[in-house]
Amino acid sequence: MYKNIIASVALAAGIGLGVTAHAADLPKATQKALDELKLGADALNGLDAELAVPQAWLDAAKKEKEVIISGTWQPKEFQEMAAPFKERYPFVNLKYERSGTSGRGMQVLMALNEGRVTTDVVTSLADAIFEYMEAKALAPLQELPTFNAIEAKYRAADGTWISHKLSYRCMAYNTDLVKKSDLPATWEDLVNNPRWAGGKLALTNNPSTWLLGLWGDKGEKWGAEYTTALFEKLKPQRRKEGLTALTGLTVAGEFDASLPSPEWVAERYVKKGAPLGYHCPSPVPITVSGIAIIDKSPRKNAARLFVNWLESKEGQIVQYTTTLAVPVHKDLQDRRFVPFADTIVGKPANVRDDALLLSETNKKMGDLWDSYWTTGAKP
């Protein structure tokens, strides 16, 4: 079933004890983020309760001294994003390692099987998360004060991972080449409009980021028919570039639009004045990025402090101002934290269930997609 996307809520709602944060008490980096967004300190109502971790965690973290984090943030972004954490917990050294999917996935698991812990906190594990869960390698997170600030649909049923951001996978388009009246209201409108035929639309080879969720919700019959129409009616450009590079080529006018495009990449181009727009046909494809703690970590308490902070209002807001990552915190489901809110907020959403990555549906979609991707024609 489709889930309604972000409904605007009052930022001052708060959670827990509803304690109001005072500007004078905030880390400098946090105040800078609030100023950038033109928000008052009341945007952080309830923060004290969110950060009220057991004293035993703090005492143990001081002895552990550091935490090793593996993720997808650029190192410079991470340093900027983590600045408030460092002000609040100066006794914890953050050792950040940016790594690819295999580095965050199987390499960490292989080390665990050898009795070695190479990282304490891992993010964005995609289908590798199921390998972690099967190996019982992840620590439960229910004790985190911020755990219940994240909706159940954005965390593991057993509490072993929790989302830390939302990502959209829609269309980027060149505003010099595309009229708003050309933009499809639904995904069906896209393939049924000859305006997008003849290579005017460019695709990356990443169907699991947008199409798989639609297959899962609408059914395999719809998915097969849609994939066939996408390639046979539109004959899109099949590009080898990744999502970020393809968005840049859209700016250059090499094609009229690209699919899929991350909203944060498109927003950065728009902020620079590029002739780029962003559009989401309905329903809006959403992927979630999870964060987890290795259960055998010798620095589990320091890891708890970091994950809990990142999921707090402060961590979510600073992550947004630093990376444009859309917050997942219940009280921050607000259009002010969503790039291109006019094309996203209020539309039905298609939140991909990561279980689809290991499903027969994914295999069927992949086989059909690959046949078109390789030859341009159905076998």
Looking up residue 256, the CATH number of its domain turns out to be 3.40.190.10
- Do residue 11 and residue 104 come from a single domain? yes
Per-residue pLDDT band for 253 (boundaries 50, 70, 90) equals very high
Structural domain boundaries, residue 246: 169-286+346-374
Looking at the fold, whether 31 and 125 belong to one and the same domain comes out as: yes
- Work out how many domains the chain is built from and give that number: 2
Residue type, 36: E
- Do you find a cis peptide bond into 140, omega within 30 degrees of 0? no
- Report whether 318 contacts 329 (CB < 8 A): no
Angle at 289 between CA 151 and CA 10, to 5 degrees: 40
pLDDT beyond 70 at 27 = yes
| 142-146, 194-198, 352-356, range with the lowest pLDDT | 352-356
Average pLDDT over residues 171-182: 97
Angle (CA) 339-340-343 rounded to 5° is 140
Percent of the chain with pLDDT over 90: 73
Question: Of the ranges 28-37, 129-138, 155-164, which one carries the lowest mean pLDDT score?
Answer: 129-138
3 or 88: whose pLDDT is higher? 88
| Same domain, yes or no: 111 and 256 | no
State mean pLDDT over 206-210.
Answer: 92
What is the rounded radius of gyration, in angstroms, for the C-alpha atoms of the chain? 21
- Residue 12's contacts (CB-CB under 8 Å, 6 or more residues apart) are 42, 43, 45
> Do 91 and 38 share a structural domain?
yes
Asked whether residue 180 falls in the same domain as residue 276, the answer is: yes
Question: Per-residue pLDDT averaged across 136-145, rounded?
Answer: 95
Does residue 360 sit within a domain? Answer: yes
Overall size of the chain counted in residues: 379
pLDDT in the model for residue 355: 78
Residue 103's pLDDT is what? 56
Structure tokens at 231: 């390639």
H helices within the chain, ranges in order?
A: 28-36, 47-50, 55-64, 75-81, 83-88, 101-104, 106-113, 128-134, 187-192, 211-218, 220-234, 243-251, 263-271, 300-311, 313-323, 360-375
Q: What is the band of 117 on the pLDDT scale with cuts at 50, 70, 90?
A: confident
Q: Is residue 379 part of a domain?
A: no
174 with 238, same domain?
yes
Q: Determine how β-strand 284-293 pairs with β-strand 121-123.
A: antiparallel
Give the phi and the psi of residue 90 in degrees, each rounded to 5: -65, -15
